[in-house]
């Protein structure tokens, strides 16, 4: 499925990106979408944000009786995106019975209840994009979203327990604004993360040895993500 990562941290329910199908996947995984406290969007390409609309619409269901607020974070343009979506859907994304707050971030540090989130600008071509690092109890989870190789993504994952990187194309078919397996291996080695998790695989990887290319640079724990994979930090 497209990008959508659920995180339970310090009594809060958090979602990193909301690509198409994320709402259904949350339900299938037993993750309480109706209890979400915060959604962090890395950028506004459809495969990372389309189900924001589905989630906002679903939270209007009368039986949920939601009262607690929802906060949505993303790079500059987030507020405009929401307003245009809500207009396109004739106001059906407006909250009912609770408040939604939209916060635009670039390079920022957020102090939240029991944990902190750092956002750092990524290099995804002309698209404004950010990665996020969640830290609680001295342990960190970092997620790049879409990006090309840059020092900022290595800094994002510095000494993290888990670093989740997009890995879209093969080394031989490098595309500007995305990472290859060798790119991911170099970043993980530079960051010194404990576990590297790769996701966002395009069909070009059929029959391709991703691990072999990553191992050119990185010797730590490596996971090629599948839907419903879970990790405890």
pLDDT in tens, 105-157: 999 999 999 999 999 999 999 999 999 999 999 999 999 999 999 999 999 99
Q: How confident is the model at residue 83 (pLDDT cuts 50, 70, 90)?
A: very high
Closest to 16 in 3D by CA, of 4, 27, 25, 8? 4
| 1 confidence band (pLDDT: 50, 70, 90) | confident
What are the structure tokens assigned to 49, written together?
A: 């944000």
Mean pLDDT of 221-231: 96
CA distances, 122 to each of 1, 64, 194 (Å): 22, 36, 21
* Per-residue model confidence (pLDDT) at position 153: 98
| Structure-token match 């888990």, residue found | 162
pLDDT in tens, 64-76: 999 999 999 999 9
* Dihedral (CA of 173, 179, 183, 184) sign: negative
Please check whether residue 171 is in contact with residue 181, taking contact to mean a CB–CB distance below 8 angstroms: yes
């Amino acid at each position: 499925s497209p990008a959508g990562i659920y995180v339970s941290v310090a009594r809060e329910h958090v979602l990193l990106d909301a690509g198409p199908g994320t709402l259904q996947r949350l339900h299938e995984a037993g993750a309480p979408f109706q209890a979400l406290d915060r959604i962090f969007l890395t950028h506004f390409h459809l495969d990372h944000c389309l189900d924001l609309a589905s989630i906002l619409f679903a939270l209007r269901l009368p039986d949920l009786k939601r009262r607690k607020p929802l906060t949505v974070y993303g790079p500059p343009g987030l507020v405009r995106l929401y307003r245009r979506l809500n207009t396109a859907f004739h106001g059906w994304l407006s909250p009912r019975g609770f408040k939604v707050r939209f916060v635009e971030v670039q390079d920022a540090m957020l102090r939240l209840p029991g944990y902190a989130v750092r956002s750092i600008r990524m290099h995804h071509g002309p698209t404004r994009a950010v990665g996020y690092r969640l830290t609680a109890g001295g342990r960190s989870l970092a997620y790049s979203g879409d990006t090309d190789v840059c020092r900022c993504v290595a800094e994002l994952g510095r000494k993290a327990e888990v670093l989740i990187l997009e890995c879209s194309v093969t080394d031989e078919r490098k595309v500007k604004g995305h990472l290859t397996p060798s790119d991911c291996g170099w970043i993980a080695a530079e960051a010194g993360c404990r576990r590297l998790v790769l996701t966002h695989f395009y069909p070009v990887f059929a029959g391709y040895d991703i691990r072999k290319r990553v191992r050119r640079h990185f010797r730590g724990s490596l996971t090629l993500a599948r839907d419903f994979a879970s990790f405890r930090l």
